A and B are shown apart, each in its own frame.
Chain A
Amino acid sequence: GQNIDQPTEMTATEGAIVQINCTYQTSGFNGLFWYQQHAGEAPTFLSYNVLDGLEEKGRFSSFLSRSKGYSYLLLKELQMKDSASYLCAVKGQAGTALIFGKGTTLSVSS
């Protein structure tokens, strides 16, 4: 079967750093994606990892360990606008659809 786990909710304050973890068990692996989704809107692409290691993209970084079935999204210098749901998604077999975790709702307070 396929399973993707991430925490349901997280809270943080402006300017802080937050790490959102994701563990996965899937049949096949062709990459792990992180998306941001604001309420009532479609998800927007944040990052993609297919090899082990850290990918940095401005305030956002994503890490992958394929042997551990583990990834995290690191958000630095948090801003209020970062309050959103963060979705971890895995592509199993090539050409198949992304399978999404349940999402982590991040609330950033001042």
Chain B
Amino acid sequence: GAVVSQHPSRVICKSGTSVKIECRSLDFQATTMFWYRQFPKKSLMLMATSNEGSKATYEQGVEKDKFLINHASLTLSTLTVTSAHPEDSSFYICSALREYEQYFGPGTRLTVT
């Protein structure tokens, strides 16, 4: 099966700092990866679509300057939360597209204090 990893699994940072989350497809190449955010007891909300070698496509209401996405290789996409605030605390999940199916990473729990 296809495996997607995320690092770190949990991170705590202070307000105003930036934090980077990595998403890797371990046994397949993914031209397209997706980033979702999930607040407690809520569903997954698509933040952006990350395409290797090109700029990410952001969903309406998601600030591209705050959530920087880089997809520099066919196996790695990164999401950087810049100048983090407590309201950015959430569960961030990446997903890599392989043929018709999306494979999800294990998620990253971000807590901003």
Contact = CB atoms under 8 A, between A and B. Distances in A.
Interface of A: 30-31, 40-45, 48, 87, 91, 94-103, 105
Interface residues of B, number: 22
Interface stretch (B13-21, B61-69, B71-79, B89-97): B89-97
Contact of B43 (A30, A40, A48, A103): A103
Given A43-B44, A97-B34, A100-B43, A48 B95 contact: no
Nearest to B94: A42
A57 B86 CA distance: 42
B106 A97 contact: no
A105 B105 CA distance: 21
Interface SS, B side: strand
Contacts of B106: 41-42
A43 B34 CA distance: 14
Interface of B: 32, 34, 36, 41-46, 49, 91, 93, 95, 97, 100-102, 104-107, 109
Nearest to A50: B100
Nearest to A35: B104
19 contacts: A30-B100, A31-B100, A40-B91, A40-B107, A40-B109, A41-B106, A42-B105, A43-B44, A43-B93, A43-B104, A91-B100, A95-B32, A95-B97, A97-B34, A97-B36, A97-B102, A98-B102, A101-B43, A102-B43
